[in-house]
Amino acid sequence: GAGVSQSPSNKVTEKGKDVELRCDPISGHTALYWYRQSLGQGLEFLIYFQGNSAPDKSGLPSDRFSAERTGGSVSTLTIQRTQQEDSAVYLCASSLAGTQETQYFGPGTRLLVL
């Protein structure tokens, strides 16, 4: 079946603008994760959704970052008033259940804030 998809693939924006990044997880996967990866670095956890439970937002770097997951499927990561340090690849992953299972990653959205 289809894998995790993300859109857009690339996004260039100006400092101070808001951006929305979208993630479509694998159908039937109850867990969804957002990560950020700066150039040449490892993955930084941002937020985790599991079913109807309250999301784990412990990785969000500031209150400019928010995410929602509608209907237990599609998720949107919103960055308000973008800053240059927000430039990174934003990766989404989904898994059948929680973190004890394999995560399947999307191709990522490369965000560049000018």
Partner 1 sequence: SQQGEEDPQALSIQEGENATMNCSYKTSINNLQWYRQNSGRGLVHLILIRSNEREKHSGRLRVTLDTSKKSSSLLITASRAADTASYFCATGRIQGAQKLVFGQGTRLTINP
Residues that bind partner 1 (CB under 8 A): 4, 33, 35, 37, 39, 41-43, 45, 48, 50, 56, 58-59, 89, 91, 93, 98-100, 102-108
Amino acid at 5: S
At closest approach, how far in Å is the CB of 7 from partner 1?
A: 13
Residue number with CB closer to partner 1 (29 or 108) = 108
Cα distance between residue 113 and residue 100, in whole Å? 34
Handedness of CA 49, 62, 83, 43 (dihedral sign): negative
At closest approach, how far in Å is the CB of 98 from partner 1?
A: 6
Residue number with CB closer to partner 1 (76 or 103) = 103
Angle 33-3-88 from CA coordinates, rounded to 5°: 45
Residue number with CB closer to partner 1 (14 or 52) = 52
b (16+ CB within 10 A) / e for 19-42: bebebbbbeebbbbbbbbeeeeee
At closest approach, how far in Å is the CB of 89 from partner 1?
A: 6
